[in-house]
């Protein structure tokens, strides 16, 4: 885990300052097929802290937070590769180093049957979900840190499935239940 200084606002330095997502907001972005941002709405700019012109053409992982397990993005891309929508909780990094949690859906977009990119809409998360997922994601990150690249996803996913399989068939079902 990275050491996070409290309330730092130095660009590039993580801080423990959370921006809560207003439940009236929908944070939307679109990407091309290479996951480069082609559209970001006002809410995306507000919560990420970037201007639209700083986002367009940038990779979508510009908002990636190091507290997010690799295994969650692996699961996301497995869904997208199979042309399925992904639902999940994501902690994103703001430009000022702070963060926000959101419940995201990510799906492929098509133009006349041709795959042209991806769309994501993120909304306010349930507090219960964050309380459950924060320690779970931490455990996954700690596990990923203990293994080499080839084993990280398998070992971390095993922890996720242990939590899910108690009651649910899929991560989406689990996430939606929280």
Ligand X SMILES: Cc1cc2nc3c(=O)[nH]c(=O)nc-3n(C[C@H](O)[C@H](O)[C@H](O)COP(=O)(O)O)c2cc1C
Q: Which stretch binds ligand X (CB under 6 A): 118-126, 150-158, 159-167, 169-177?
A: 118-126
Residue 118 within binding range of ligand X, rule CB under 6 A? yes
Query: What is d(CA 177, CA 87) in angstroms, rounded to the nearest whole number?
Result: 12
- Three-class SS string for 118-169? EEEEEECCCHHHHHHHHHHHHHHHHHHHHCCHHHHHHHHHHHHHHHHCCCCC
Stretch that binds ligand X, among 7-15, 18-26, 59-67, 137-145 (CB under 6 A): 59-67
Between 15 and 92, CB nearer to ligand X: 92
Enumerate residues 6+ apart whose C-beta is below 8 A from 2: 14, 66
Tell me how far apart the alpha carbons of residues 177 and 161 are, in angstroms, rounded to a whole number: 15
Least CB distance to ligand X at residue 139 (A): 18
> Of the listed pieces 10-18, 55-63, 126-134, 169-177, which binds ligand X according to CB under 6 A?
55-63
- Rounded to the nearest whole angstrom, what is the least distance from the CB of residue 25 to ligand X in the complex? 14
Please report how close the Cβ of residue 3 comes to ligand X at its closest, in angstroms: 20
Helices assigned H by DSSP within 26-148: 42-48, 52-55, 70-81, 127-146
In the complex, which residues of this chain contact ligand X (CB under 6 A)?
A: 29, 31, 35, 60-61, 63-64, 68, 73, 90, 92, 104, 106, 118-120
């Amino acid at each position: 885990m990275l050491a996070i200084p409290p309330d730092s606002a130095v660009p590039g330095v993580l801080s423990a300052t959370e921006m809560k997502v207003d439940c009236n907001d929908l944070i939307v972005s679109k990407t091309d097929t290479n996951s480069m941002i082609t559209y970001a709405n006002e809410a995306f700019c507000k919560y990420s802290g970037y201007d639209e012109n700083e986002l367009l053409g940038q990779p979508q992982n510009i908002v990636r937070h190091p507290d997010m397990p690799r295994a969650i993005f692996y699961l996301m891309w497995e869904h997208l590769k199979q042309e399925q929508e992904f639902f999940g909780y994501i902690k994103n990094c703001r430009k000022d180093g702070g963060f926000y949690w959101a419940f995201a859906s990510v799906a492929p977009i098509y133009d006349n049957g041709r795959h042209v990119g991806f769309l994501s809409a993120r909304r306010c998360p349930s507090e219960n979900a964050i309380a459950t997922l924060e320690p779970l994601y931490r455990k996954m990150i700690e596990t990923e840190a203990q293994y080499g690249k080839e084993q990280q996803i398998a070992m971390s996913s095993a922890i996720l499935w242990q939590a899910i399989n108690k009651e649910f068939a899929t991560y989406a079902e689990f996430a939606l239940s929280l």
